[in-house]
Amino acid sequence: MLKIWSMKQQQQKAENEGAAGSKKKKVTAAQLRVQKDLSELSLGTTMRTEFPDPDNILSFILHIEPDEGMYKGGHFSFTFNLSSNYPHEPPKVLCQQKIYHPNIDLEGKVCLNILREDWKPVLNLNAVIVGLQFLFLEPNASDPLNKEAAEDLRAYREGFKRNVRAAMSGGSVKGVTFDRVLK
Amino acid sequence: MASVEVYPSIEPLRWKYLDRIRTRPGPFTDLDVFEGSAVAQNMDNMKVLVIGAGGLGCELLKNLALSGFKNIHVIDMDTIDISNLNRQFLFRKSDVGKFKAEVAAAFVESRVKGVSITPHKCKIQEFDEDFYMQFQIIVCGLDSIEARRWINATLVDMVDEENPESFIPLIDGGTEGFQGQSRVILPTMTACIECMLDMHVPRAQVPLCTIATIPRQPEHCIEWAHQIAWDKEKPFPKLDKDDPEHITWLYQKALARAEEFNIPGVTYSRTQGVVKNIIPAIASTNAIIAASCCNEALKIATNCAPFLGMPEQNNYMQYSGNDSIYTYTFQTEKKPDCPVCGNRARDLDVNLGWTLKELIEALAVNPSAQLKKPSVRTEKKTLYMQSPPGLEEQTRPNMDKTLLELGLEEGEQIGVTDPAFPSVSFKFALRFK
C-alpha cells in the first residue's frame, strides 16, 4: 500500500492543483447539479417557479399559464421533488389540481416519457418543463393516463375542447367534478 | 531483497499453504514493496471492512477469514429472511429475524480460530469518516447502487494528501443472475464508482400509460396495483414491502386486473418480486465474484502479486455465465468531469467581514473561476441564485450580509454555477484570512 501512496503523491504533484478540501460541510453532487439546472432554466412568460423554502432547492412548485391552445387562460401548478440521487433518478412531478387531460390522471400523475422510461441523466429540468408545457399545447390521445379524456379527444376534438373549458371552470365532465383553474 | 523462506504465523498448520503464497515472491511480485517476513504480522494488524452480509457478504467474510485477515468488521442493517437461506450459508432457519451482521460474525468467529469479526447492524450512512478511517481495505458486497455511490463519495472525499491513512482501496463486487463484476477503486487515483455509473443500465421502466390503460404482461398488472390502485385506495397508511398483508393486498388487486384483461401469470411471489425489485441471485455467481474480490484484498494487503486496479492498469473484471463462460478484464478511465472525483473543492481565501456581494465579485476575478453571473449555495443554504427570478428575489437580501452574518464556517464548501459556462460547476472550500 505504501507503493500506491507514493504513486498517489507523485500524481498529486503532477496535477499541482492544491485541491485540499475540508472534511465537513460538503456540497453534494445532486445539489450542485440541481443548482446548475436552475441557473440555466428558461421559463419564458408562461411559467414561473415558487420555492416555499429557498434553502431547499430540491423541492419547488412550477406554475404554468398556457397562452395558447385548448388550455389557454388556465393556471396549473406542479410540485417538483428531486432526490439526492438526481440526475440518476428523474424528478417526481405531480399536478396539484384535478384536471381533465388525457395525459394527467385525477390524482395529478403525469404521463410524460422523460419523467419515467426515457429519463436520462443528461436531461435536465429545462427538458421536463418544456415537456410539461407541450402537454398543454398538444394533449396526446395515444398515450392516455385519463382514458375517458383520451377517448373524448380521439372521438370528437370539438367536444373534447368543450369538456376542457367546462372542467377548467370548475364544472364536471361525465360525473367527475374538476378544480377551477381559470384566473 | 525478499526471502524465499516461509514464515509461519501463530497457527502453523492452518496457514501453512496460505503462507507459501503470501510470504514468497512469485514471478510477477514487485520486489520493491514485497517483504515476506512482515506479511503475516501486517495482516494481523490490518482492519478490513465488509459492507453487506448477504449473498456476497457471507462468502466474503468466510473467504477473508480463511485468507488470514484477523480483524474484520461487517455492516448490514438487514435481518435474515427465510428466502435468504438457500445461498446465505452462514444462516440457519432458527436465525430468521435476527440481524445478518451479528449472526454472520458469530458464525465465522466460531469456525475460524483467532479471527475477530465486529458486526454493525445499521446503515453505512450512520457512520462518519472517523469510523471509515480505521480500515485499510473496504470490500463491498451490496445490492444497491445508491449505497455504493455513498461509500464511494465518502472515500473519495476522505482522501487527505497529507495523511496516508485517509486513502483506502475499495473493492466492489456485484452479481445479477449469472453475471457479475469485481472492481478495485483507489480513491482519487483511479476511476471511481461514479465515473463508471453509466455502465449500470437501470431496469427498463414501463410507461405509466401502459400500466394505466393497456396492460399486456402480468408485471404491468402488478405495477398498476402498486403505483395506481394503492395510491387511490390507501389500504394501509404506508406501503411496507416486507409486510405479507400489504403484498397480499397488491397481489389480489393485480390478479383482479389480470383477469379483467385476460393476462395469465400473476402470482404472489411474482408480485413480491416486482414490488421489491428482486433480482434472482445465484449462489455460485456470488461465490465466484466474492472469491475474486477476496483475492484482490489479499494481494493488496500483501503485495505478493499484482492486484486489479493499479493506476493505468485494468481495474474491472466482468464475468458472464449467460452464454457459456466469458470473462473480460479491462480499464475504465477516470472521468475528468466526474461529480465525485473529478471536481474536488479548491481553496478560496475569503474574509469573514466580506459581504456576499464581495465574495461573488471575488469569484469573477479569481483566475481559476473567472465567472460572469455566479450563483452560490452551500449544501444547506441558498446564498444567491441569479435565476429563476423568484429565487433571485428571495435570495437578493443576502447580498449585503457579511459571510459571518450568513453563518459560513471555515472549511465549508460552496457550490458555484454560472449559465455562461454550462458545462462546469465549481466547488470551493472557504478559507478565512
Written as nine digits, the cell of A97 is 389540481
Nearest to B145 by CA among B119, B101, B176: B176
Q: What is the pLDDT of residue B160?
A: 83
DSSP annotation of B46: -
Q: What is the pLDDT of residue B213?
A: 85
Cβ <8 Å between B413 and A25 = yes
pLDDT band at residue B171 under the 50/70/90 scheme: very high
Q: Does B412 touch chain A (CB under 8 A)?
A: yes
Q: What is the pLDDT of residue A21?
A: 42
Mean pLDDT, range A153-161, rounded to an integer = 93
Q: What is the pLDDT of residue A61?
A: 97
Q: Where are the alpha helices (DSSP H) in chain A?
A: 2-15, 29-39, 125-137, 147-155, 157-168
- B392-406 pLDDT, tens per residue? 999 999 999 999 999
Cβ <8 Å between B300 and A32 = no
Judged against a pLDDT cut of 90, whether residue B373 lies above it is answered with no
Pairing of strands B326-330, B375-377: unpaired
Cβ <8 Å between A21 and B413 = yes
Q: What is the pLDDT of residue B11?
A: 61
Residue A96 to residues A163, A178, B224: CA-CA distances in angstroms? 19, 12, 21
CATH architecture, range B208-276? Orthogonal Bundle (1.10)
The complex scores an ipTM of 0.82
Taking CB atoms and an 8 Å cutoff, what residues of chain A touch B418?
39
Q: Which residues fall within 8 angstroms of residue B381, CB to CB, at 6 or more apart?
A: A55, B406, B407
Q: Is A65 helix (H, G, I), strand (E, B) or coil?
A: coil
Domains B11-201+281-330 and B346-432 share a fold: no
pLDDT band at residue A19 under the 50/70/90 scheme: very low
Mean pLDDT, range B18-45, rounded to an integer = 91
Mean pLDDT, range B43-71, rounded to an integer = 96
Cβ-based neighbour number of residue B216 at 10 Å: 11
Write the class of the CATH domain A29-177. Answer: alpha beta
pLDDT band at residue B202 under the 50/70/90 scheme: low
Q: What is the pLDDT of residue A22?
A: 41
Residues of A that are catalytic: 111
Q: What is the pLDDT of residue A2?
A: 60
What is the number of CB-based contacts under 8 A between chain A and chain B? 185
Q: Which residues fall within 8 angstroms of residue B206, CB to CB, at 6 or more apart?
A: A117, B219, B220, B223
Among A9, A13, A17, A22, the strongest candidate for a mutation testing the B interface, having the largest count of B CBs within 10 A, is A22
Cβ <8 Å between B413 and A29 = no
Cβ <8 Å between A20 and B161 = yes
Domain residue extents for chain A:
29-177
Q: What is the pLDDT of residue B10?
A: 54
Q: Does A26 touch chain B (CB under 8 A)?
A: yes
B346-432: CATH topology? 3.10.290
Q: Tell me the C-alpha distance between B36 and B51, whole Å.
A: 29
Taking CB atoms and an 8 Å cutoff, what residues of chain B touch A117?
204-207
Q: Across the interface, which of A8, A29, A85 has its CB nearest the CB of B167?
A: A8
Mean pLDDT, range B310-316, rounded to an integer = 94
Q: Is A93 helix (H, G, I), strand (E, B) or coil?
A: strand
Q: What is the pLDDT of residue B199?
A: 79
Q: A42 exposed, middle or buried (CB, 10 Å; 0-12, 13-18, 19+)? A: exposed
The answer to whether B395 and B353 are in contact (CB under 8 A) is no
pLDDT band at residue B207 under the 50/70/90 scheme: confident
Q: Tell me the C-alpha distance between A61 and B49, whole Å.
A: 43
Nearest residue on chain B to A113, judged by CA atoms? B207
Nearest residue on chain B to A126, judged by CA atoms? B388
Nearest residue on chain A to B381, judged by CA atoms? A55
- A66-125 pLDDT, tens per residue? 999 999 999 999 999 999 888 888 999 999 999 999 999 999 999 999 999 899 888 999
Judged against a pLDDT cut of 70, whether residue B414 lies above it is answered with yes
Predicted TM-score (pTM) of this structure: 0.74
Minimum mean pLDDT among A124-128, B8-12, B178-182, B286-290: which range?
A: B8-12
Domain residue extents for chain B:
11-201+281-330, 208-276, 346-432
Cβ <8 Å between A35 and B186 = no
CATH architecture, range B11-201+281-330? 3-Layer(aba) Sandwich (3.40)
Q: What is the pLDDT of residue B6?
A: 53
